Amino acid sequence: MKKALIFGVTGQDGYYLSKLLIKKGYFVHGVRRRNSIVENLRIDEIFFDKTKNCDLHYGDVTDSISTLNLIKKIKPNEIYNLAAQSHVGISFDLPEYTSNVDGIGTLNILEAIKNVNKKIKFYQASTSELFGGVSKIQNEKTPFYPKSPYGVAKLYSYWITKCYRESYKMFCVNGILFNHESKFRGENFITRKVSKAVANIVCNKNTVLEVGNLKSKRDWGHAEDYVEAMWKMLQLKNPVDLVVSTGKSISIKRLIELSFNIVGIKIIWKGKNENEYGIDKKTKRKIVKINKKFFRPNEVDNLKGDNRLSKKIINFRPKKNIQDIMSEMIENDIKLIKN
């Protein structure tokens, strides 16, 4: 039986990846940080089911000794590094912490693999934030230009992964994943902020959705589709870095419009620039407004991935579009509010 080790297992990607690997016959080892408050709601159904081939461990990628000891103990065939401080906006408030987790954490895993067993396959969760929106569409040959501490830390991880691959002949890959969402998305991400606001309004709560830059465009896919791409990358004969995306992008403004349309609410926009706001066409009530605190010091205007190489090499075909994703998230948030 193959063994997989997942750092960052408590996030949305960790949940979907664990389910996928167990289904494929792996024994899955997940790593979580020890906190005073245990928050494992996403993965409880998996790792506390004694009939499933999985186990949870305490660890932290910023602790090189614990990382080394875990890899020595488990002896995995594959390692997936999903551990990160993954919110771009928060990285401006916590630049040093973000750099340690998202940058040095990757180095600690690679060093451990080098010293324990160079045949262990390694997947590094990279990001579209490497590009910084410097072109209309981004692919594997697009120059990097990160515009946040998060993007810069991930750029280090990208290059150190390539460095160890080439220097020590290790099987290491970077999955340059564009935005991917699900009902398990954290509440400080824009898609979840929107789905929660829509759900609150449907449930007759007096809610106003506060957002930052309405003009920013993103390429959104579903986390369940994207973790399959992660696994496929580690099944290749030779390691390669790939962009994983839908190839389509929409603005935050359009995301809000289509999300409210799902529940039968049409948004009418008033005002301009930072004074723009949205009202419910039927009730005339303001339900969307701009809050300057959500603007970032360095904005990324447009991220849209060219996924032709991932289609060719791993046959990546995203099954769900942004309409499907937001419908799922809104439905789930309505259930959470009612319960």
Q: Widest CA span of the chain, in angstroms?
A: 64
d(C-alpha 249, C-alpha 262), whole Å: 19
Out of 150, 158, 164, 226, which one is annotated catalytic? 150
| Amino acid type, 214 | L
Helix (H) or strand (E) holding 337: helix 322-338
d(C-alpha 150, C-alpha 18), whole Å: 25
Out of 10, 98, 106, 127, which one is annotated catalytic? 127
d(C-alpha 136, C-alpha 234), whole Å: 29
Place of tokens 């103990």: 73
Question: 273: which DSSP letter?
Answer: G
Out of 15, 78, 129, 246, which one is annotated catalytic? 129
123 is an active site residue: no
106 is an active site residue: no
Pick the closest to residue 301 from 136, 160, 181, 174 (CA basis). 136
328 is an active site residue: no
**What backbone torsions phi and psi does residue 209 show, to the nearest 5 degrees?**
-75, 120
**Active site residues per annotation:** 127, 129, 150
